[in-house]
Amino acid sequence: MSCDAWKTKIFGRCMIRSDPFILIAMKRIFISSRGNPEHLAELFRRELPGYDVLTTQPGPDDPAVQYIVVGRPAPGVIAAVPGIELVLSLNAGVEHLLASGEVPDGLPIVRLVDEGLALGMAEWVLAQALAWHRNLFDYAEVQKRAEWTPRAEKLANERRVAVLGAGALGRPVAEHFVRFGFDTRVWSRTRHDIPGAATFAGREQLLEAVAGSDILVNLLPLTAETAGIIDASVFAALNQGAFFINGARGAHVVDADLLAALDSGQLSGAALDVFRVEPLPADDPFWRHLKIRVSPHVAAPTHAHVAVKEMAENIRRFERGEAIPHLVDRTAGY
């Protein structure tokens, strides 16, 4: 760590020299990312120039680090950082942080839900849905055989879409489907009002929500209640030949039931961006199934400049004592 000319290093940490005789301790941020932590650190330094931003693991005897920015940290990383007051996740999903047991119960965690994530997810889901809806996947296959074979086409208002999840990602996706004219249904743990869409809530209404749907989209958070929720009963409730899109988590789906639905023709295809094991092993049957389209967890990538602006603003909110959006509810699991 280096100190600029306007800072002084004392006892291993930088201090702001606001007066020749007064030194004020800087707030510290630790970036724990397996991606490009230095790039994130530079963006944070631009957003919060009065903060000391670290990319190397602090030790338990080092000065307090008030904020930690984490993706999927290795075991022991969070527990070893002294003085944490707020955990800022680099992901919208936080099940890995809650499951690890490393984040003390009283320590707040903020999910990353920024405009870039929501836009990216909406683009990916709509791209998959519209390509299936307008037979573009089929035409790509018959082109290889130079066959001029028009398919029967439908309008959006002749298709029913069911979106599982009505949060920061599911809601805007559902709103896009409404704007395109699809008969849109939305299911979530608790009921949400989404203009133009029929909404359902609670496990007892799940099959009712998806019944007769042509497209099923999963954007649920992963919790103990939603793990394995998309099973044979859900696929059976869809229209025959329906299309499944999963941009949430692989563990939501019973893989054997998905493969069975594809093989039987109950599903005509699936677009999968997330899997139980990632990267998807080379011998996984999903790679070779002709009805499955695999993408490598890219549906809603983190756009660093947008994410850092949102996290920096959450730090400011925290220090002003204001409410922070997307604060994790541990009882709900997200």
Whether 39 sits among the annotated catalytic residues: the reply is no
Q: Where are the alpha helices (DSSP H) in the chain?
A: 37-47, 95-100, 115-133, 136-143, 170-180, 206-210, 232-237, 255-264, 285-288, 304-320
Rounded to the nearest 5°, which phi and psi values hold at 185?
Answer: -125, 145
Query: What pLDDT sits at residue 39?
Result: 97
160: left (phi over 0), alpha (psi -120 to 50) or beta: beta
- Assign 302 a pLDDT band (cuts: 50, 70, 90): confident
Whether 303 sits among the annotated catalytic residues: the reply is no
pLDDT of 85 above 90: yes
Question: Across all residues in the chain, what is the average pLDDT?
Answer: 92
- CA distances for 119 relative to 170, 180, 307, angstroms: 11, 16, 13
Give the chain's domains with CATH numbers: 7-114+303-320 (3.40.50.720), 116-294 (3.40.50.720)
pLDDT of 163 above 90: yes
Query: What pLDDT sits at residue 25?
Result: 66
* Residue from 45, 96, 289, 297 carrying the catalytic annotation: 297
Query: What pLDDT sits at residue 16?
Result: 45
* Residue from 249, 276, 316, 317 carrying the catalytic annotation: 249
Residue 160 near residue 214, CB atoms below 8 Å: yes
Q: Which two tokens stand for residue 333?
A: 């699991």
pTM exceeds 0.95, yes or no? no
- Assign 106 a pLDDT band (cuts: 50, 70, 90): confident
Describe the strand order of the beta sheet including 215-218 as a list of residue ranges. Answer: 198-201, 183-188, 160-164, 215-218, 242-246, 267-272, 292-294
